[in-house]
Amino acid sequence: MHGRWTVLASIMPVVGLACVTLWGGAMMAAETGKAVKGTERGFITRPQEDAVVGALVAQHGAGVEARARRGVHQAALYWRPADGTAEDFAAYCGQHFVADPRLLETTYRRFEANLEQVSGHAVALNRALREPMECDTGDPLPVDLRFAELNVFDHFNDDAFAAKVAFDALLNFPLARLPELLEQGAGFTRRQWAEARLGAAFQMRVPGEVRQGETRAFTRADDYIANYNIFMHNLLAADGSRPFPEGMKLISHWGLRDHIKALYSDPLGNLDKQRLVLRVMEHIIHQTIPAAVVNNPRVDWAPVTNVVQPGADAKVGGAISGEREPDTRYARLLDVFHAEQAVDRFSPVFPTFIDRRFQVDRELPEAEVEQLLKDVLTAPVAREVAALIRARLGRPLEAFDIWYDGFKPRSALDVDTLDAKVRARYPDLAAVQAGIPDILKRMGFAPDTAAFLASHIVVDPARGAGHAMGAGMRSDSAHLRTRVPAGGMDYQGYNIAMHELGHCVEQVFTLNRVDSVLLNGVPNTAFTEAFAFVFQSRDTDLLGVGADDEAARARARALNAVDTFWMTFEISGVGLLDMAVWRWLYVHPKATPAELKAFVVSQAAAIWDQYYAPVLGVKGSPLLAIYSHMISSGLYLPDYPVGHLIQFQYEEQFHGRSLAGEMERMCVQGRLTPQQWMQGAVGGPVSAQPLIRAAQEGLKSLNPR
């Protein structure tokens, strides 16, 4: 659930300093000032710009020329007829260009303070309006959903341009585009980085209505996914039996996938059940699933023959239509694509959603991400891991074994003991809140740092599994949402809460201890996920289970490395598919849902055959296409594998050093570009090698020769 808020944040104009649209990274493309057909952009010509710059130099002296040239050009790119005529533009620049260095410094400080207020209150207000939906504080009212959908800041961007605040920033502070940050960032001062983030706050000018259309498309896709449940008791095996228990309702894909994982508790006994779940997934991907069985407990379905019949408890008899779902899955994704095309029109600087995701949100070029994923997929260690899985299962591998779950360290521990330990320590939500300083001290944080962090983290009762929400201003707190059922927290809840705590600690460091709030945050989502994984992987250690025995700890580390590699190997192909689908959409903008489906299925199988078939020995599986994120989260999937890679870069850095000290040192760098940040954090770029190395070493210690 942690990803969800981040995704929402990235499609809303203003949610937190790390937010894309207000606080994104890069800027501008068109250097010519030439109008691009069908897009909304400035109309001020180069000669008109030159005249304005000449007037500013005449007024303030030759010393301002370089700044004036850049600022006037930046403002001109965004100046539209509604903002005034070319003469109005000249007059505006004459009045609002700040030449006096002391006034410029005060103006910079004012932007820094005011943007913190805007972002901070946007986060706090959205959090308050969504609380009844997200927190378990009683039954939500119908009106709560509408409040949750209401983003009071949807029009902030419009308003900032209308009020000319945005132009004041564009005229006076540099907007550095990604290539400039990549080429020159290494030599930037802290102030230059902060100014780059200030300028980037106004690099998009997309009308509120277009943003709302985007939010609507994502919400609709989200709603489709959120209600896509399979009632497992209604599934019939080939022999007519019902292999799954009554009351089991699994959401696609999370619930179906996690059930396949859980079934490894008895690999041979549960094999037929795993195969049946696989058939369900294939019908969803191919949309051959009968529409009547989705989210419906009154219809029985035999996935092998694809025949439906009235359920045992159906009140009405008679035939039930076995008609397939009419490619709705792909229609929802097309809706999202079309909503992004509307944004494209207003985004001449980042003309596609792919540009916005990679150049603005991630600041990691698409080709670099693709290469990282391929580094994982082609690592020779994958075959060795597969061989170990084959040996452990005692059978040839099947496609769903990409979700093999037997390397979890907890699978070696007794779940009841873990549950009892967690329950005793955290009987209620207040105990979780009170327990944070102790967890942090056990991780090595100094008592005063632990107290400082804990004082900025508020624990709330989650409706879902849990999530973490950072603050947008220093006077506010990060929120950790977690589930504590009556009778106390269980191990599963604790495991997720530790993940969310990792996010919260990062969020507090990067807001409250970074030297400028303009640099709040980490480079992108993958960097915070990596910290969350680091915390999550220490959960049993922190409970004091097996922590007294160095051999047990080493074994847990080895298992964790092999497990993480296998998960990363699996999700890397999913990330490649997500990227391929968006590239295809931009080449085929008029595609029908059926055409999109055909591409997704064939591309998933092609990626499978290239990277997975040689490792698992199964050919042509479309399984990579089951992920729901591909439909409703808009190119989010590549962040998962990259997050795991970064986790192991952190781990190598922590090894033999203080985790607490290193984490704080990394975090207070603030939001640099990913490669620049990683250079400072671990002395090298983002890389797949530490995870691959850890998996190789882990395998060695699990298979001693």
Q: How far is the CB of 503 from Zn ion (least distance, A)?
A: 6
Contact 489, 497 (CB under 8 A): yes
Q: Fill in the amino acid letter for 656.
A: G
* Angstrom distance (rounded) from CA 493 to CA 149: 27
Cβ atoms of residues 348 and 30 within 8 Å: yes
Smallest distance from the beta carbon of 651 to Zn ion, in angstroms? 17
Cα separation, 345 vs 333, in Å, equals 19
Task: Decide: 79 and 95 in contact? Cβ < 8 Å.
Answer: no
Nearer to Zn ion by Cβ, of 276 and 497: the residue is 497
Shortest Å, Cβ 6 to Zn ion: 8
Q: With contact defined as beta carbons under 8 Å apart, do 234 and 293 qualify? A: yes
The reply to whether omega before 253 is within 30° of 0 (cis) is yes
Q: Which residue has the tokens 């580094």?
A: 375
Produce one character per residue of 631-648: b if its CB has 16 or more CB atoms within 10 Å, e if not.
bbbbbbbbbbbbbbbbbb
Can you tell me the distance from the alpha carbon of 396 to that of 467, in angstroms, rounded to the nearest whole number? 38
Q: How far is the CB of 499 from Zn ion (least distance, A)?
A: 6
230 forms bridges with which residues in the sheet?
250
Pick between residue 531 and residue 569 the one whose CB is nearest to Zn ion.
531
Quote the least distance from Cβ 468 to Zn ion, whole Å: 7
Residue 663's nearest CA partner among 507, 531, 468 is: 531
d(CA 505, CA 514): 13
User: Minimum Å distance from CB 467 to Zn ion?
Assistant: 8
From the CB of 599, what's the least distance to Zn ion, in Å? 30
Residue 464 CB, nearest approach to Zn ion (Å): 12
**Cβ-based nearer residue to Zn ion, 1 or 342:** 1
Write the DSSP string, 668-692: TT-S--HHHHHHHHHSS---SHHHH
Residue 421 to residues 204, 427, 492, 540: CA-CA distances in angstroms? 50, 10, 12, 10
Q: 349 vs 478, which CB is nearer to Zn ion?
A: 478
Q: Where on the chain is the footprint of Zn ion (CB under 5 A)?
A: 2, 529, 532
| Shortest spacing between CB 532 and Zn ion, in angstroms | 4
Specify the residue, 2 or 130, whose C-beta has the smaller distance to Zn ion.
2
Around Cβ 100, how many Cβ atoms within 10 Å?
A: 11
Of 203 and 560, which has the nearer Cβ to Zn ion? 560
Q: How far apart are CA 466 and CA 495, in angstroms?
A: 10
Burial letters for 85-94: b for 16+ Cβ neighbours within 10 Å, e otherwise? ebeebbebbe
Min dist. Cβ of residue 134 to Zn ion (A): 15
CB neighbours of residue 142 within 10 Å: 6
Q: Of 215, 32, 42, which is closest to residue 126 (Cα–Cα)?
A: 215
- Decide: residue 668, CB within 10 A, 0-12 exposed, 13-18 middle, 19+ buried: middle
Q: In whole angstroms, how close is the CB of 439 to Zn ion at the nearest point?
A: 17
Query: For residues 185 and 470, which CB has a smaller minimum distance to Zn ion in the complex?
Result: 470
Using alpha carbons, select from 621, 665, 361, 635 the residue that is nearest to residue 509.
Answer: 665
Which lies closer to Zn ion via its Cβ, residue 2 or residue 423?
Answer: 2
**Measured at CB, which residue is nearest to Zn ion?**
2
Nearer to Zn ion, 379 or 432 (CB): 432
Compare residues 2 and 629 and give the one whose CB is closer to Zn ion. 2
**Sequence-ordered alpha helix ranges (H) in 18-79:** 20-23, 46-60, 65-78
- If one counts every other C-beta atom within 10 angstroms of the C-beta of residue 105, the result is 12
Least Å distance, CB 9 to Zn ion, is: 13
Q: How far is the CB of 658 from Zn ion (least distance, A)?
A: 23
Nearer to Zn ion, 2 or 259 (CB): 2
Query: What residues have CB less than 8 Å from 635, skipping those under 6 apart?
Result: 353, 354, 357, 578, 579, 582
Minimum separation from the CB atom of position 289 to Zn ion (A): 30
Shortest CB 354 distance to Zn ion, Å: 23
- C-alpha distances out from residue 464 to 57, 105, 629, Å: 59, 45, 17
Residues 571 and 566: their CA atoms lie apart, in Å, by 9
The string of DSSP letters for 103-119 reads HHHHHHHHHHHHHHHHH
- For Zn ion, the closer CB: 49 or 578: 578
CB nearer to Zn ion: give 5 or 111: 5
Closest CB to Zn ion among residues 2, 597: 2
The tokens of 675 are what?
């490669």
In this complex, which beta carbon is closest to Zn ion, that of residue 175 or of residue 478? 478
Q: Six-digit token pair at 186? A: 């290494």
Question: Both tokens of residue 244?
Answer: 């799954």
